[in-house]
């Protein structure tokens, strides 16, 4: 089917808000190229489950496009129009299965060497549309916190190597109550700036108890039943002979939260769909808690644009060598503390990179702390870059130096360095989501490969 | 944005990025060896670039990494500690191509098949299909009338079972290589023993770890493998249970093949480092370190076997790279999905008799140039390939 043939009745299976949105913009949709409109519909189809920040972007995009003349739209999407698509794609029922269309389009673009042209078209389009978007107004600078290395007693791995050029490396942090203080700081921000889905606490193990908090909490342990339920569905599908990774991915796209033990209540839909997506669209999130934390933080920055994320990496299960697996011994091996620390160190860097892609990056702060140890690194406009500090400092005064708590002397900190503004977010856009030849098939590996579930 | 954080690569064209990558590698090698950079063909240690005597009878061993690795974890200062064997043992003996640009699909099976055919194959990476174009093994066996035991492939995952022979007319199974999938054989062996309960523990691959492709084709079954290699199933299992990874098993099997048949064309594909898809940086780096060690072992094995020593050219190359940390389309080292210049730009080293040592080639080449290069060395012409022989080593 070609875009010009879209009819309003074809959206009858869309969610209520999504259906309304599609019908309201049907004239616009009819003008858009086949290489693009299903990808936009993929976003619209899930509108009811999107975060507020995502909805704002979709709203803006549709509003922007609707305000353009036919010629202007034609010029804006001309690069998509130049792509040559197959008859198979033209016949596809992409209104009802935009996700499946995206997979087939991806394979086709790679196979016909048009992937680079598509990517360039997507970047150009999104950059033009984003340039017209009013800047996001933030009630406070963003804050990212990564807590890494839980359980590690001694460490010789050089931490924060990738982040040190951008911040101040503290070597004498008093670790007393460190996690508690950081959590309190996040809670205080949530209270001071009450924004839906604006403040998050991610934990790779069981979450710490935080009474009366408006932080949205998400933890690997709490989602254990979800992972188990998902595994059962996948195992069943494989046993029944599901036809390859693409078919499995399509199946995963369609899984609803209530099918894997999450709440299906309307008020929980957005969070439930997000939690589901971590396992159905992320790779490695199902087996390694460290990957779960990093991917969740990444997806939150990318999708929800929150003000605060506190991400605590905890030990993941150890990947056992082949001979140990085959010996059949020790089916519940100890966690891999050092491997987890190294993973989390890289995870913290990627979390900071993802934070930097958002509006307000110049004012944003990031703190990574080696839990229960004296090493921390802070990237903040109030602290110099590429600097090491061996002054004794406790967590509260560290936060004060970042401008997040009142210092003991009552003076606010001075701006010391200019942080990066943004990392060219043009490639971080929905048009490119899934357009690759790597299917993010979840990898439970029968659940038995990796001893326990941490 | 600060200039030091600014992702310089994103402001450059793909060509400029690949040149920058190449420059990093070249500069690094220059520093390592004290050579001065000059020209397209760069002699790393002045006066020491020389060709070993070319014997009449030549063999070729190709080692590919079906995982991809980045310069950050290998050739850049923070990564050099991970590849001591490549750096100190192999590169000084090799001609090193700094800029191998993969213009094909960045999936491991289809990319490896493209290496083997000399054409950018376009089939679905996850389909159990044979390449459309003749493979290096078919050209070799058909043109040179070589027997079945003279071309072998040792590959990690079930998806590679069709890589030995193509669907091309006048080629195909009759001229295909023997394909051994060691993990599959181990599963088969385990399934007939009391250890059957552990067969599911062997991960087939890291790109689609849940789904194990159905094996169809002429890959070798366990008993034929056991007979041909004169290796009992029990001994095979017993040895496998002393090894820590699938790549170690592959190298062990390759060694058995070399000792039994001394094939003139042996292709080994490793994939441990592809565990990166699970998002664990430490395991990815472990995989790189293991691959580095295994490459050294393979080269030493070649030198220790009379059938190979002094007459074997070895090629080592990743099939492609991995995504940059700064590319928002990816997730850093985890995948190779963005198709950016960093994930497309990799390297190749060639070493053996007749190959210049301590030499860096800086001009851009392509992975599809490998098969015609092997053809030039062994004496056949891949008529349907799109690559060109690397003149510096052929």
| C-beta separation of A371 from A179 below 8 A | yes
pLDDT at B205 over 80: no
Q: Distance between CA atoms of B31 and B21, rounded to whole angstroms?
A: 15
How many Cα neighbours within 13 Å face the side chain of A227? Answer: 26
Top residue of A352, A438, A450 to mutate, by most chain B CBs within 10 Å, is: A438
- Give the model's pLDDT for residue A411: 73
- What is the number of H-type helices and E-type strands within chain A? 17, 12
Q: Is the pLDDT of residue A345 over 70?
A: yes
ipTM, two decimals, is: 0.89
Is B274 a member of any domain?
A: yes
Percent of chain B with pLDDT over 90: 56
Distance from the Cα of A268 to chain B's closest Cα (Å) equals: 28
Say whether B278 and A291 touch across the interface (CB within 8 A): yes
Distance of CA A243 to the CA centre of its chain: 28
Q: What angle do CA B121, B124, B130 make, to 5 degrees?
A: 60
Q: Which two tokens stand for residue A177?
A: 């109550």
CB-based contact B383:B117 (threshold 8 Å): no
The full DSSP string for A175-225 is: -TTHHHHHHHHHHHHHHHS--TT-EEEEESSSPPP-TT--SEEEETTTTHH
Q: Could you tell me the maximum CA-CA distance found in chain A, to the nearest angstrom?
A: 71
Indicate yes or no: CB of B280 within 8 angstroms of CB of A238.
Answer: no
N-to-C CA span, chain B: 47
Residue A102: pLDDT band with limits 50, 70, 90: confident
pLDDT band at B36 (very low <50, low <70, confident <90, very high): very low
Which positions in chain B touch A424 (Cβ < 8 Å)?
Answer: 7, 10, 328
Task: Indicate if the pLDDT at residue A195 is higher than 70.
Answer: yes
Contact A438, B336 (CB under 8 A): yes
User: A115-131 and A98-111 are packed helices; what angle lies between their axes, rounded to 10 degrees?
Assistant: 130
Residue of B105, B214, B279, B333 for testing the chain A interface, max A β-carbons within 10 Å: B279
B211–A248 CB contact, under 8 Å: yes
Instruction: Give A-chain residues touching B207 at CB under 8 angstroms.
Output: 438-439
pLDDT at position A278 over 60: yes
CA atoms within 13 A on the CB side of A167: 26
- B355-382: b (≥16 Cβ within 10 Å) or e: bbbbbbbbeebbbbbbbbbbbbbbebeb
Please report residues of B whose CB lies closer than 8 A to that of A426.
328
* pLDDT band at residue A424 using 50, 70 and 90 as cut-offs: very low
Residues of A in contact with B326 (CB under 8 A): 353, 423
C-beta of residue B178 within 8 angstroms of C-beta of residue B164: yes
Q: What is the mean pLDDT of chain A?
A: 87
What's the pLDDT score for residue B306? 95
Q: Tell me the whole-structure pTM to 2 decimals.
A: 0.89
Measured between beta carbons, the chain B residues lying within 8 angstroms of A442 are: 210
Three-state DSSP class for residue A332: coil
Query: Which residue of A120, A156, A443 to mutate against B (max B Cβ within 10 Å)?
Result: A443
Q: How far apart, in whole angstroms, are the C-alpha atoms of residue B92 and residue B73? A: 20
Cα B71 to Cα B78: distance, rounded to the nearest angstrom: 9
In A, minimum Cα distance to B287 occurs at A321
Token representation of residue A271? 């969070």
- What whole-number percentage of chain A has pLDDT above 70? 88
Tokens matching residue A60: 């803006």
In a domain, B387, yes or no: no
What domain count does chain B have?
1
CA angle (A301, A302, A308) in 5-degree steps = 15
**pLDDT above 70 (res B378):** yes
**Between A107, A288, A421, which is nearest B278 by CB?**
A288
Count CA within 13 A, CB hemisphere, residue A111: 15
How does residue B7 score in pLDDT terms, banded at 50, 70 and 90? very low
Which residue among A283, A428, A446 sits closest to B279, beta carbon to beta carbon?
A283
Which residue is closest to A161 within chain B, CA to CA? B78
Please say if the pLDDT value at position B37 is more than 70: no
B301-to-A247, B246, B265, B306, B308 alpha-carbon distances in Å? 43, 18, 15, 10, 9
Q: Quick one: three-class SS letters along chain B?
A: CCCCCCCHHHHCCHHHHHHHHHHHHHHHHHHHHCCCCCCCEEECCCCCCCECCCCCCCEEEEEEECCCCCHHHCCCCCCHHHCHHHHHHHHHHEEEEEEEECCCCCCHHHHHHHHHHCCCCCCCCCCCCCCCCCCHHHHHHHHHCCCHHHEEEECCCHHHCCCCCCCCCCCCHHHCCEEECHHHHHHHHHHCCHHHHHHHHCCCCCCCCCCCCCCCCCCCCHHHHHHHHCCCHHHHHHHHCCCCCHHHHHHHHHHHHHHHHCCCEEEEEECHHHHHHHCCHHHHHHHHHHHHHHHHHHHHHHHHCCCCCCCEEEEEEECCCCCCCCCCCCECECCCCCCCHHHHEEEEEEECCCCECCEEECCCECHHHHHHHHHHHHCCCCCCCCCCCCCCCC
**Are the beta carbons of B329 and A356 separated by less than 8 Å?**
no
Question: The CATH number of the domain where B155 resides is what?
Answer: 3.40.720.10
For B259, the domain range is 11-378
Query: What pLDDT is stored for residue B222 in this prediction?
Result: 86
Q: Does B335 touch chain A (CB under 8 A)?
A: yes
Which residue from A104, A100, A108 is spatially nearest to A251, judged by alpha carbons? A100
Q: pLDDT exceeding 70 applies to what percent of chain B?
A: 80
- Residue to substitute from B77, B203, B328, B366, interface A, most A β-carbons within 10 A: B328
Chain B segment 173-202 residues within 8 A of A by beta carbon are 190, 195, 197-198, 200-202
Among residues A314, A423, A370, the alpha carbon closest in space to that of B328 is found at: A423
Q: How many residues does chain B have?
A: 394
Residues with Cβ within 8 Å of A216's Cβ and at least 6 positions away in sequence, in order, are A197, A199, A200, A201, A271
Cα gap B136→B143, rounded to integer Å: 10
User: Which two tokens mark A139?
Assistant: 């009630």
Choose the closest CB to B337 out of A113, A424, A436. Answer: A436
| CB spacing of A248 vs B200 below 8 angstroms | no
Range with lowest mean pLDDT among A247-251, A406-410, B84-88: A406-410
Question: Are B280 and A112 an interchain contact pair (Cβ–Cβ within 8 Å)?
Answer: no
Mean of the pLDDT values across residues B241-259? Answer: 93
DSSP A232-282: HHHHHHHHTT--SHHHHHHHHHT--GGGGTS---GGGHHHHHHHHHHHHHS
* Contact between residue A28 and residue A83 where contact means Cβ atoms under 8 Å apart: no
User: What pLDDT is recorded for position B210?
Assistant: 56
Q: Strand B94-101 to strand B359-361: parallel, antiparallel, or no bridges (unpaired)?
A: parallel
- H-assigned helices in A254-394: 269-281, 289-299, 322-327, 337-356
Q: What single DSSP character describes residue A311?
A: E
- Neighbouring-strand partners of residue B154: B180, B268
What ranges do the domains of chain A cover? 3-134, 143-427+441-447
* Cα separation values, A87 from A91, A104, A108, A307, B124, Å: 6, 12, 11, 45, 18
Q: pLDDT-derived band of residue B339, with 50, 70 and 90 as boundaries?
A: confident
Tokens 């059938």, residue located: B307
**Which residues 4-23 in chain B show a CB within 8 A of chain A?**
4-7, 10, 14
Contact B280 A319 (CB under 8 A): yes
More confident call, A331 vs A24: A24
Non-local CB neighbours of A211 within 8 Å, separated by 6+ positions:
none
For CA atoms A422, A376, A381, A400, the dihedral sign is: positive
Give the CA radius of gyration of chain A.
23
pLDDT tens readout for residues B345-357:
999 999 999 999 9
Is residue A160 within a helix (H) or strand (E), and if so which, with residue range? none
Q: Chain A: residue nearest B246 by CA?
A: A322
Amino acid B394: pLDDT: 85
Residue B118 lies in a domain: yes
For range B21-26, the mean pLDDT: 71
Task: Give me the helices (H) in A77-136, please.
Answer: 78-81, 87-91, 98-111, 115-131
Reported as half-sphere exposure (CB side, CA atoms, 13 A), residue A72 has a value of 9
Q: Chain A: nearest CA to B115, how far in angstroms?
A: 16
Residue B78 contacts A, CB cutoff 8 Å: yes
Q: Supply B51's token pair.
A: 């060709």
Chain B positions in Cβ-Cβ contact with residue A233 (cut-off 8 Å):
none
Decide if B2 and A419 are in contact by the 8 Å CB cutoff: yes
Does some domain include residue B392?
Answer: no
pLDDT at B45 over 90: no
Selected for mutation to probe chain A from B66, B79, B210, B325 (highest A CB count within 10 Å) is B210
> A330: pLDDT confidence band, cut at 50, 70 and 90?
low
- A-B C-beta contacts closer than 8 Å: 193
């Amino acid at each position: 089917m070609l875009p010009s043939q879209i009819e309003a009745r074809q959206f009858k299976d869309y969610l209520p808000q999504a259906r309304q949105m599609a019908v309201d913009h049907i004239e616009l949709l009819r003008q858009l190229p086949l290489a693009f409109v299903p990808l936009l519909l993929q976003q619209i189809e899930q509108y009811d489950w999107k975060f507020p920040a995502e909805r704002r972007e979709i709203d803006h995009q549709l509003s922007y496009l609707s305000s353009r003349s036919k010629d202007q739209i034609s010029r804006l999407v001309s690069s998509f129009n130049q792509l040559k698509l197959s008859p198979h794609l033209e016949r596809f029922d992409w209104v009802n299965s935009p996700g499946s269309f995206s997979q087939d389009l991806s394979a086709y673009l790679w196979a016909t060497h048009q992937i680079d042209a598509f990517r360039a078209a997507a970047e150009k389009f999104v950059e033009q549309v984003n340039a017209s978007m009013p800047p996001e107004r933030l009630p406070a600078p963003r804050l990212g916190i990564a807590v890494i290395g839980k359980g590690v007693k001694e460490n010789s791995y050089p931490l924060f190597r990738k982040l040190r050029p951008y911040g101040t490396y503290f070597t004498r942090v008093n670790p007393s109550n460190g996690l508690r203080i950081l959590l309190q700081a996040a809670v205080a921000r949530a209270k001071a700036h009450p924004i839906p889905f604006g403040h998050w606490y991610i934990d790779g193990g069981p979450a710490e108890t935080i009474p009366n908090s408006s932080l949205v909490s998400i933890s690997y342990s709490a989602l254990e039943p979800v992972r188990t339920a998902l595994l059962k569905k996948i195992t069943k599908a494989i046993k029944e002979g599901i036809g390859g990774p693409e078919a499995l991915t399509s199946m995963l796209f369609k899984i609803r939260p209530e099918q894997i033990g999450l709440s299906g209540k309307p008020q929980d839909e957005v969070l439930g769909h997000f939690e589901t997506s971590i396992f159905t669209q992320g790779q490695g999130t199902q087996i390694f808690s460290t990957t779960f934390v990093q991917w969740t933080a990444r997806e939150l920055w990318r999708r929800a644009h929150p003000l605060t994320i506190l991400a605590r990496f905890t030990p993941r299960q150890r990947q056992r060598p082949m001979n140990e697996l085959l010996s059949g011994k020790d089916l519940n091996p100890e966690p891999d503390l050092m491997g987890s620390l190294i993973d989390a160190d890289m995870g913290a860097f990627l979390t900071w990179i993802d934070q930097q892609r958002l509006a307000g990056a110049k004012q944003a702060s990031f703190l990574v702390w080696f839990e229960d140890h004296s090493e921390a690194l802070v990237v903040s406009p109030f602290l110099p870059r590429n600097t090491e500090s061996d002054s004794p400092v406790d967590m509260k005064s560290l936060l004060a130096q970042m401008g997040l708590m009142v210092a003991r002397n009552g003076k606010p900190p001075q701006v010391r360095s200019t942080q990066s503004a943004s990392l060219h977010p043009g490639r971080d856009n929905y048009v490119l989501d899934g357009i690759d030849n790597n299917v993010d098939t979840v990898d439970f590996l029968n659940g038995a490969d990796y001893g326990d579930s941490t | 944005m600060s200039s030091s954080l600014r992702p310089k690569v994103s402001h450059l064209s793909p060509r400029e990025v690949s040149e920058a990558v190449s420059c990093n590698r070249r500069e690094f090698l220059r520093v390592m060896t004290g050579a001065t950079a000059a020209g397209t063909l760069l002699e790393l240690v002045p006066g020491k670039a020389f060709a070993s005597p070319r014997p009449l009878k030549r063999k070729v061993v190709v080692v590919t990494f079906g995982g991809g690795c980045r310069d950050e974890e290998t050739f850049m200062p923070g990564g050099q500690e991970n590849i001591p064997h490549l750096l100190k043992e192999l590169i000084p003996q090799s001609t090193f191509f700094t800029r191998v640009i993969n213009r094909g699909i960045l999936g491991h099976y289809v990319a490896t098949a493209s290496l083997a055919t000399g054409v950018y194959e376009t089939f679905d990476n996850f389909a159990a299909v044979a390449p459309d174009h003749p493979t290096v093994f078919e050209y070799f066996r058909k043109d040179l009338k070589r027997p079945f035991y003279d071309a072998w492939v040792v590959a990690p995952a079930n998806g590679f079972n069709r890589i030995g022979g193509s669907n091309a007319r006048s080629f195909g199974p009759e001229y295909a290589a023997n394909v051994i999938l060691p993990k599959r054989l181990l599963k088969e062996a385990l399934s007939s023993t009391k250890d059957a309960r552990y067969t599911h523990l062997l991960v087939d691959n890291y790109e689609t770890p849940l789904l194990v492709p159905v094996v169809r084709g002429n890959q070798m079954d366990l008993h034929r493998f056991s007979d041909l290699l004169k290796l009992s199933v029990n001994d095979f299992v017993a040895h496998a249970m002393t090894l820590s990874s699938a790549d170690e098993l592959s190298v062990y099997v390759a060694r058995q093949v070399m000792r039994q048949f001394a094939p003139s064309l042996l292709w080994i594909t490793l994939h441990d480092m592809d565990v990166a898809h699970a998002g664990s940086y430490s395991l990815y780096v472990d995989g790189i370190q293991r691959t580095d060690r295994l490459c050294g072992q393979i080269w030493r094995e070649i030198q220790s076997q009379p059938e190979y020593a002094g007459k074997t050219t070895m090629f080592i190359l990743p099939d492609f790279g991995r995504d940059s940390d700064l590319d928002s389309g990816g997730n850093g080292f985890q995948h190779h999905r963005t198709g950016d210049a960093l994930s497309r730009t990799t390297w190749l080293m060639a070493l053996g008799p007749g190959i210049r040592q301590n030499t860096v080639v800086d001009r851009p080449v392509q992975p599809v140039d490998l098969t015609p290069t092997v053809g030039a060395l062994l004496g056949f012409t891949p008529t349907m390939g799109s690559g060109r022989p690397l003149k510096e080593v052929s």
